[in-house]
Structure 1
Amino acid sequence: MARLLPRTDTVNREGAPAYAYGPEAKLAQLAATGTLSDTFYGAAETQLADLLDAAKAVDPYFVAQAAIYARRSGAMKDMPALLAAYLTVADPDLAVAVFNRVIDNGRMLRNFVQIMRSGQVGRTSLGSRPKRLVQRWLEQASMPQLMAAATGKDPSLADVVRMVHPRPADAARKAFYGWLIGRPYDVAALPAEIAAFEAWKADRSLPLPPVPFEWLTAFPLSVEDWAVLSTRIGWQALRMNLNTLARNGAFDVAGVTEAVAARLAEPQAIAKVRPMPYQLMVALGQAGDGVPLKVQAALEDALEQSLGRVPSVPGRIVVCPDVSGSMRSPATGYRKGASSKVRCIDVAALVAAGMLRTNRDARLLPFEQAVVKLKLAANARVAVNAAKLAAVGGGGTNVSAPLAMLNAERAKVDLVVIVSDNESWVDAGRRGSTATMAEWNKLKTRNPGAKLVCLDIQPYGTTQARSRADILNVGGFSDAVFDTMARFAAGETRDWVEIIKEVEV
């Protein structure tokens, strides 16, 4: 039977035998999950080169589909903009369709322009057609969209306007552009929000104007001003700016702590915004000591509410989180001055806790060099379970270990979920296949209907188990993973490539 298993055709970052993804699968994973930042095993430059190499090896139409999927379904920012920029060289006609689908806000517009000018896709300027695309976006954007876009730099919106010279449709738009780039403008024609902002800058006793809060925070604000902002900004912005509010004394104002906590944990608001569990885990991980415990507890409540949407999967489930040393690296990689406090081990805990929450009989088999004896309570908070997993102590990576234990026990299983960085090396050998494939093959002889999900939190283009009808490889993590696993367990056999190929361009 072993000779029927697929032979390995590459090595992973640890130099151990592995299976390489084809160009389409590699592009699909990187586009949907890549962060272009340094991870435990690889650098951002390597990931960028891998992405562009994969893009060049596939049909430009698939690149277009991947870009749209990454933005619409994966909510990615850097990758869709990079692929849209690549298409301006590889297939300018497709680039037009993709630009209109993925460049959907000011942040994405600035990302696109920055990438085009960087030389990463083979050009250092916009060029005539991309310039027209950017110009048209500016001309068709609403004033609130333009105001929201006028935050951030490298390039700033003012830089972009100077590059492409959009034609103002009316006096208000003309005045806005003049105000934005420091040219003379008709004060009387300014949009009301901008006029209010200018009046507030001249007289800080006036009420805070209705402009993006980032504009206001560029000026000295009173503690009371920060307290007002805590009630005005949107739910997601509130989640992301708790440390800023704490640093500026907002929580020292009577009632603010209670008001912010109530907003964060309000079931109606959570149902409307539908925050993803991972987003809330990030917020919890980044909350500093200055954020009141009541507010942190509200974030935990929001996280617990969001986990209620994790689908239930029938059958005998085994969840295997990797607790090896490399899992302590930031989940989205190392970024100078901005590395996420959420580690790969925390994502593994989130998956385990989410599966346990709605599948109370699921079994947990944490592993490093071998399976680690550890029990997590299904009703425990995610933070508690993450702490238990992280306390195991590291060690080498042996992805096949939990499968070997299940085989030794002759266990009956329906679904095995392995959550790892996938750089297995402890079980490396000279056999034709990986140890993971060999152990899974043994398990399948006893459990013909069993399925395996390999969730690779930091994909590098290799896997320990080659994709097929009973094996699903998932690269990276988003909260859509839970639904993907549930559909796979229910009988859907499409992989990421097939899903992306269904995208209409």
Structure 2
Amino acid sequence: MKFNINKKAATATVNHEGAIAYSLSPEMELYTAVATTLLSDVTYEKADARMQRIIELLPQVAPEFIAQLAVYARKEMNLRTAPLVLATALANVHRGDSLVSKAVAGVVQRPDEIMEMLACYQVLNKREGIKKLNRLSKQMQKGLATAFNRFDEYQFAKYNRNTEVKLKDALFLVHPKAKDEAQQVLFNKIVSDEMATPYTWETELSALGQKVFVNAAEKQAAVKATWEELIDSRKLGYMAVLRNLRNILQAGVSAVHVERVGEYLANENAVLNAKQLPFRFLSAYRELMNVESGYNAYLLDALESAIASSVQNMPGFNRNTRVVVACDVSGSMYKPVSKNSAVQLYDIGLLLGMLLQSKCKHVQTGIFGDTWKRISLPARNVLSNVDVLRKREGEVGYATNGYLVLKDLVDRKYVADKVMLFTDMQMWDSNTNNVSNVNTLEYQWRQYKAIAPDAKLYVFDLAGYGHSPIKQQGRDVFLIAGWSDKIFAVLEAIEHGEDTLSAVREVAL
């Protein structure tokens, strides 16, 4: 959507399938709602409903936690819109100190986010008429002024777009003080629309589109030359490469240039600096699978290397730790993560599950729906493993009988140290009337603890609907939320005695 912990006491409720579930603390609910949304439509909520729920939770949560979560979601989870909403809404509920300006400055990491935040402020405050942004929050103004001082001419020009709130408008509204003479010159260029046209793939291809060609062959040659020039320039950003692999191959660039693209994709430093959400690699992988090219295998390998590098610092488990990884493939998981994305929650669960499996020495992996099925897969080639599991769609049905994962462990008397469920949390029992609630995650976990008293259960929430299928009491059941590889950093923190929200609370403002 564009505008321009453990819980010591749980309240019983029901989930969207009508099954027993447990409410979360306001902090935990806010965290799960933010960590699992791009503010696009999901199965049981619309984007505006999700945003409204986030806003309604804010008065129940300490302002400092809201600010920390906003900065954490932007810098660590690499989310964009949800942090903007948090920081903007915070300005409406908190006054009297610099907390808002610190949150705003921490959230804005790109020039266009200045305009996005102003547009968000306009929407949340229902501003209409000519002066939609008059009486701007002073602390928001201060935070945006700090952000203005971070960017150079190329960055401003790159994001100087014809949106409702323009860069020039933002400059007039925020009134940032130039840090030196050079920056004052830059601000003057913004006002007079005299910034140099940036060299980007968008501007180069846009310029190419304005040209007239004699025939299709001449146009194809020009497109090929442009892509090769962009690759040679080393100014083609990592995300731009991921999104344009199909276009690059269809342009027919030379073998040398394909090799350079592959080397860049697999480059460890480039991967770490790009900070891409894991599903971006999966999207690129899927795009390549739909292109007929002799270079596909080479670039698919480069993407496998890239996603491996992206989690190189992710903690794993040694040969003595027995891990069970279970991925929810029920019907409600077949929803895209954003309006224009082909990636679904189904894919997110499989991808995160395969990333975790790649870091384990002793692991059993499987999928659950109507039934639970263990499936052996190699530790390497995370993306191809996801593809293999995706092709087994329907094999276990479309219900959400997550309790069967634990029941299988009980029946086999298999003692695991850690059981990991990747799910949208909509657990229910499709097999019986279940009057006694035996077929629930809660009941089966109690049964399993009699066999494996030291086992821990980690439920990874991929949807953020605001409830859990099991009480989070003691030190053996944990809820973690999100689509970022940062969920594994939370997992590591828990291993060291912290709780799910510790990393958020440690954010320095």
Query: TM-score normalised to the size of structure 2?
Result: 0.82
Q: Deviations over 1:245-288 (max 9, x none)?
A: 438x5433463222212222245644665756443223323445
- CA 1:503–1:240 in 2, change beyond 3 Å: closer, same or farther? same
The aligned counterpart of 1:239 is 241
2:24 to 15, 21, 31: 21
Deviation at 1:81, TM superposition (A): 1.1
The alignment status of 1:127 with 2:158, answered yes or no, reads: no
Deviates more, 1:431-440 or 1:39-48: 431-440
The DSSP-based 3-state class of the residue aligned with 2:367 is coil
Check whether the contact 1:9–1:18 (CA below 8 A) recurs between aligned residues.
Answer: yes
Q: Deviations over 1:102-131 (max 9, x none)?
A: 223213212211101113588952524134
The aligned counterpart of 1:324 is 330
- CA 1:304–1:485 in 2, change beyond 3 Å: closer, same or farther? same
The aligned counterpart of 2:302 is 298
- CA 1:79–1:297 in 2, change beyond 3 Å: closer, same or farther? same
The aligned counterpart of 1:457 is 462
Computed over aligned residues only, the root mean square deviation of the Cα atoms, in angstroms, reads 3.2
The aligned counterpart of 1:206 is none
Number of matched pairs: 471
1:39 to 29, 37, 42: 42
The DSSP-based 3-state class of the residue aligned with 1:472 is strand
The DSSP-based 3-state class of the residue aligned with 1:28 is helix
1-structure distance, mates of 2:309, 2:115: 34
The DSSP-based 3-state class of the residue aligned with 1:98 is helix
The aligned counterpart of 1:501 is 505
- CA 1:226–1:392 in 2, change beyond 3 Å: closer, same or farther? closer
The DSSP-based 3-state class of the residue aligned with 2:373 is coil
Deviation at 1:51, TM superposition (A): 0.4
The aligned counterpart of 1:353 is 354
Q: How does 1:129-278 map to 2 (within 5 A)?
A: 129=138, 130-135=140-145, 137-138=147-148, 141-151=151-161, 153-164=163-174, 176-177=186-187, 179-180=189-190, 194=196, 197=197, 211-220=199-208, 222-223=222-223, 224-231=225-232, 232-243=234-245, 245-246=247-248, 250-253=251-254, 255-267=256-268, 269-270=270-271, 277-278=278-279
Query: TM-score normalised to the size of structure 1?
Result: 0.82
Deviation at 1:354, TM superposition (A): 2.3
Deviates more, 1:152-161 or 1:101-110: 152-161
Check whether the contact 1:89–1:122 (CA below 8 A) recurs between aligned residues.
Answer: no
Q: Deviations over 1:58-93 (max 9, x none)?
A: 222221222122122222211111111112211133
The aligned counterpart of 2:218 is none
Deviation at 1:455, TM superposition (A): 0.7
The alignment status of 1:407 with 2:410, answered yes or no, reads: yes
- CA 1:74–1:273 in 2, change beyond 3 Å: closer, same or farther? closer
Check whether the contact 1:328–1:344 (CA below 8 A) recurs between aligned residues.
Answer: yes
Deviation at 1:177, TM superposition (A): 4.9
2-structure distance, mates of 1:17, 1:273: 41
The aligned counterpart of 1:395 is 398
- CA 1:312–1:43 in 2, change beyond 3 Å: closer, same or farther? same
The one-letter amino acid of 2:108's match is I
- CA 1:433–1:471 in 2, change beyond 3 Å: closer, same or farther? farther
Deviation at 1:27, TM superposition (A): 1.0
The aligned counterpart of 1:473 is 479
- CA 1:7–1:390 in 2, change beyond 3 Å: closer, same or farther? farther
Check whether the contact 2:460–2:480 (CA below 8 A) recurs between aligned residues.
Answer: yes
Check whether the contact 2:325–2:420 (CA below 8 A) recurs between aligned residues.
Answer: yes
Deviates more, 1:42-51 or 1:132-141: 132-141
Bigger RCO (CA 8 Å, 6+ sep): 2
